Amino acid sequence: MTQIPFKGTPEQELELKAFIEKEKNEPGCLMPVLQEAQRIYGYLPIEVQQMVAGGLGVTLAEVYGVATFYSQFTLSPKGKHKISVCLGTACYVKGSDKILAELEKRLGISAGGITPDGNFSIDTCRCVGACGLAPVVVIDEDVYGKLTPDMVDDMLSHYMD
Amino acid sequence: MTIQELNAKKAQFEDLVKVRRVIKEEGEKLAANTGYRKQVLVCGGTGCTSSSSLKVIEQLEKSFVENNIDDVLIVKTGCFGLCALGPIMIVYPEGAFYAQITPEHAKEVVEKHLVPGGDIVKEYLYEGTIHEDGSIIPFAETPFYKKQLRIALRNCGVIAAESLDEAIGAGDYQALAKVLSSMTPDDVINELLASGLRGRGGAGFPTGRKWAFAKASVSDVKYVCCNADEGDPGAFMDRSVLEGDPHCVIEAMTIAGYAIGAHQGYIYVRAEYPIAVNRLNIALAAAREAGLIGKNILGSGFDFELELRLGAGAFVCGEETALMTSIEGHRGEPRPRPPFPAVKGLFGKPTILNNVETWANINPIIMNGAEWFKSIGTEKSSGTKVFALGGKINNVGLVEVPMGTTLNEIVFEIGGGIPNGKKFKAAQTGGPSGGCIPADQGDVQMDFDNLAAIGSMMGSGGLIVLDEDTCMVDIAKFYLEFTADESCGKCTPCRIGTRRLLDILEKITKGNGEPEDLEKISDIANHMRTSSLCALGQTAPNPILSTMQHYMNEYKAHIYDKSCPAGVCKSLLNFHIEEDKCKGCTLCARQCPVGAISGTVKQPHVIDTAKCIKCGACIAKCKFGAIVKK
């Protein structure tokens, strides 16, 4: 679990509570609520999970269980720029593991980690469905395809502060 | 909307869509009825959007203004299938197929081709559509498209994906109108039973039987679900259908609701598919607004409501009971069956669940009849199958072929063979639950039963082509990493079995394998098959068993000779400089991060294998191909 202190604002809390109020009587609403909470806060720290549990009247254990089951939910904050390396089969056979290794080397972090300045985080994903462009890396909303390790530096340069 | 209004709408938009389906001459005649001299279709699917097709559309709009063009229609469609050549742009009625188009190309095409009296800009056409004498081959006649038969994908890449009008013009909701006005629920189910349609999600269970069970269950509330949680890596059929023709799924689910007596449906779709989610939302709002879902659909008195639920990245949620648990808002863990969902499914009520491609087949079966559908494909697998071709193949993309088409036809004729002159080694189907078909069995007719007979499975339709540079032990390890990671942990055989199998494969690929490891694998695999709770665990050993069946020599090479014949498993390789090829340029020595390469200028260099970390930096830099992995 993250050691980074929680910095939620009252506006964020209001937004989340309004959504919970709207959804709480829908069957199976916990997932949509957590998805919205992650959209608002960027991640699901324990403080946010407590708000969700309280708002929906379910136990914190239930919320934590769901939040940790699905790979989309993250309990620690992500970088300003989120790098997602596709390790789906089509990308893997075309060498996406080498792209990941190069990214890890350049940024000095492993998949799942965040750079100390908070600028980048690296994650792996299962398939973005752009198999025609394999191997593929997604940074924020931008898709980079047909990559080779020597293209990594140039790709990152667009996001350096 | 009433049926009369639906038909009027269809008549209004029919010709506009038909221009894109007929040959040039006929299209020119039809174009006169549409008010548009030409139509430009640009792919707005995930593949082409990722290579900036939306910028092409922006440029077209800008250039139209600059050139005073107001009688050419721009249509943002779903996937055309040939993703390797994206972004793709097709101009009708001539059917000019522009490939790998950039905004600059698009500008030129507007100025030279789309202006009145303009001509096709041949240099930007897909090269497969030009004869040696310079004449143009209709793209439907090119090898990639010629052997295909598009039933599920009938409207993908044809209609504007966000337009209900065009979907209706292309025939969507006609089957719903027919069902609601002239068929009983039993008629619908009997038609499906007679068609022989089998579920396209993997196991191939007869769809009609599933519906019949759910209809027979007595309950005040029933549900219809759509599995759009396409978790199999390398498979993107369902995504393409949702992006290209979302209404066909909405229509089919409504028909199912009528057939089994359900009034509520859920579409469970991967959150990783933002374009598909967006188009589904647009389509649901339009269908609701037009009265095609909701209360009193098409004046029939039948009510049906549909909701979207987003998955959150768990492969196991592709399993039907896990998917339902996830819609209920819990951890997506599977439940024991029986009771089957047709008896006790979502929220404990009778439920049917079909995957996207299965839904996409419903309209054509209702409209053309079971006999027609049965006449396509093989005896026990009627109809077509969509495959997502990926990996080491030239024409990466989406293809739909009649069941029974051979693997060689798909790989070599439609797929255009293997890039860089490499040899075809195997095709992997069925993803993490499937297996490999070796190249020497390339004449296998692809259908549910034939694939099962040779130790693979149809699965959802991902087809990854592997070439001679692929290590089959490494591929098996790749899939086990996946299933070990995605195992939900509820049942022990899967949770521990996947982990143990992965441990053994890691040991083998690191050069520490022992002969008895092969027996251990078989032993664990058998236990997992017979005692795992759901299909994830039952099928997780398949990638190993199938590679062991066909490539035992590679396993033995790793274990006995401590070598990797394909040159993939790093621990078993040594880097080596071939003396006669090395020119002594020193580039590799400067590149080496650990200083393992030594030698004097203009003399062959050597690698100190004790120091070498096998990073491959030297190979990438060597201009003479002098460094080899052995």
Percent of chain B at pLDDT above 90?
85
ipTM score here? 0.90
Q: Residue B435, class by beta-carbon neighbours within 10 Å (0-12 exposed, 13-18 middle, 19+ buried)?
A: buried
Residue B404: closest CA among B429, B382, B375? B382
Co-location of B428 and B548 in the same domain: no
Neighboring chain B residues of A92 at a CB cutoff of 8 Å? 233, 478
Average pLDDT, chain B: 94
Helix%, strand%, coil% for chain A, nearest 5: 45, 10, 40
Of B84, B272, B311, the CB nearest to A128: B272
Instruction: Kindly state whether A145 is in contact with chain B, defined as any CB-CB distance less than 8 angstroms.
Output: yes
What does the buried/exposed string (b/e) look like for B108-145 if buried means 16 or more CB atoms within 10 Å of the residue's CB? bbbeebbbeebebbeebbbebbbeeeeebbebeebebb
**Contact B83/A30, CB-based, under 8 Å?**
no
- Residues B497-532 have pLDDT tens digits of 999 999 999 999 999 999 999 999 999 999 999 999
User: pLDDT per residue over A118-161, tens digit each?
Assistant: 899 999 988 887 888 889 999 988 889 999 999 999 999 999 87
**Domain residue spans of chain A:** 10-69, 81-157
Nearest CA in chain A to B479: A89
User: What is the full DSSP assignment across B113-158?
Assistant: IISTT----GGGB-GGGB-TTSPBPPGGGSHHHHT---STTTTTTT
Q: What CATH number did the domain enclosing B584 receive?
A: 3.30.70.20
What domain range is B54 assigned to?
36-146
> How much is the pLDDT for A2?
63
Q: Is A61 on the interface with B (CB under 8 A)?
A: no
Q: Assign B82 to helix, strand or coil.
A: coil
**Residue A41 above 60 pLDDT?**
yes
Are B479 and B465 part of one and the same domain? no
Asked whether residue B356 falls in the same domain as residue B425, the answer is no
Q: Say what the pTM is.
A: 0.93
User: Residue B238's pLDDT band (boundaries 50, 70, 90)?
Assistant: very high
pLDDT digits (tens, 9 = 90+) for B407-458: 999 999 999 999 999 999 999 999 899 999 999 999 999 999 999 999 889 8
How does DSSP classify residue A114?
B
CB contact under 8 A, A72 and B332: no
B415 touches chain A (CB under 8 A): no
Query: B580 and B552 in one domain?
Result: no
The SS3 assignment for B86 reads coil
Q: Which amino acid is at B360?
A: A
Alpha-carbon distance of B136 to B122, in angstroms, equals 9
- Residue B248 to residues B38, B210, B252, B300, B356: CA-CA distances in angstroms? 26, 20, 6, 19, 9
Residues B461 and B491 grouped into a single domain: no
CATH number at residue B115: 3.40.30.10
Nearest chain B CA: its distance from A74 CA (Å)? 11
Asked whether residue B336 falls in the same domain as residue B395, the answer is no
Residue B343 pLDDT > 90, yes or no? yes
The domain spanning residue B409 has which CATH number?
3.10.20.600
Residue with tokens 């439920």: B351
CA distance B267 to B227: 7
B462 and B478 assigned to the same domain:
no
Question: Which residue, B412, B445, B470, sits at the end of a domain?
Answer: B470
Please indicate whether, in this complex, the C-beta atoms of B464 and A90 are within 8 angstroms of each other: yes
A81 contacts chain B (CB < 8 A): no
Q: Would B530 be classed as within a structural domain?
A: yes
Is B486 a residue whose pLDDT tops 80?
A: yes
For an interface test with A, which of B49, B50, B325, B393 has the most A Cβ atoms less than 10 Å from its Cβ? Answer: B50
The residues, ordered by sequence, that sit 6+ positions from B528 with a Cβ below 8 Å of its Cβ are B493, B494, B497, B498, B501, B537, B538, B540, B541
**Once rounded to an integer, what is the mean pLDDT over residues B350-377?**
97
Interface contact B396-A132, CB threshold 8 A: yes
Residues of chain A with Cβ-Cβ distance to B475 below 8 Å are 93
The arithmetic mean of pLDDT across residues B27-33, rounded, is 90
B448 shares its domain with B528: no
CA atoms within 13 A on the CB side of B563: 9
Three-state DSSP class for residue A155:
helix
Asked whether the beta carbons of residue A90 and residue B309 sit closer than 8 angstroms, the reply is no
Q: How far is CA A52 from the centre of its chain?
A: 19
Asked whether residue B96 falls in the same domain as residue B74, the answer is: yes
A44 in reach of chain B (CB within 8 A): no
Q: Do A90 and B47 touch (CB under 8 A)?
A: no
Q: What residues have CB less than 8 Å from A39, skipping those under 6 apart?
A: none
What integer is the mean pLDDT of B87-112?
A: 95
Residue of B nearest to A139 (CA): B50
| Maximum distance among all Cα pairs of chain A, rounded to whole angstroms | 52
Q: Which residues in chain B have Cβ-Cβ distances shorter than 8 Å to A28?
A: 309, 327-329
Write down the pLDDT at residue A89: 86
B379 belongs to a structural domain: no
Report CA Rg, chain A.
Answer: 18
Do B202 and B267 reside in the same domain of the chain?
yes
Total domains present in chain B: 5
The 10 Å CB-count burial string (b at 16+, else e) for B218-242 is: ebeebbbbbbbbbbbbbbbbbbbbb
Nearest residue to B313 via CA among B350, B272, B281? B272
- Are B354 and B201 in contact by the 8 Å Cβ rule? The answer is yes
User: Would the pLDDT of A3 be above 80?
Assistant: no
Tell me: pLDDT of B574 over 90.
no
Residues B200 and B337 in one domain: yes
Q: How many CA atoms lie within 13 A of B455 on its CB side?
A: 17
> How far apart are the C-alpha atoms of B336 and A55, rounded to whole Å?
32
Per-residue pLDDT for A1 more than 70? Answer: no
Are the C-beta atoms of residues B248 and B360 closer than 8 Å to each other?
yes
Please tell me which residue of chain B has the smallest CA distance to A130.
B47
Residue of A nearest to B395 (CA): A132
In chain B, which among 546-585 make CB contacts under 8 A with chain A?
Answer: none
Q: Could you give the residue ranges of the DSSP H alpha helices within B562-616?
A: 587-591
Q: Give the helix, strand, coil percentages of chain B, each rounded to 5.
A: 45, 15, 40
- Secondary structure of A6-45 in the HEC alphabet? CCCCHHHHHHHHHHHHHHCCCCCCHHHHHHHHHHHHCCCC
Which of B43, B46, B230 is the best residue to mutate to test the A interface, defined by the most A CB atoms within 10 Å of its own CB? Answer: B46
> How does residue B189 score in pLDDT terms, banded at 50, 70 and 90?
very high
In angstroms, how far is CA B359 from the centroid of its own chain? 15
Q: What is the arithmetic mean of pLDDT over B247-275?
A: 96
Is B330 in a helix, a strand, or coil?
coil
Q: What is the mean pLDDT of chain A?
A: 92
* CATH number at A81-157: 3.40.30.10
Do residue B500 and residue B447 come from a single domain? no
Chain B residues with beta carbon closer than 8 angstroms to that of A90: 233-234, 390-391, 396, 464
Q: How confident is the model at residue B289 (pLDDT cuts 50, 70, 90)?
A: very high
Size of the A and B interface in Cβ pairs below 8 Å: 131
CB–CB contact A31 B309 (8 Å)? yes
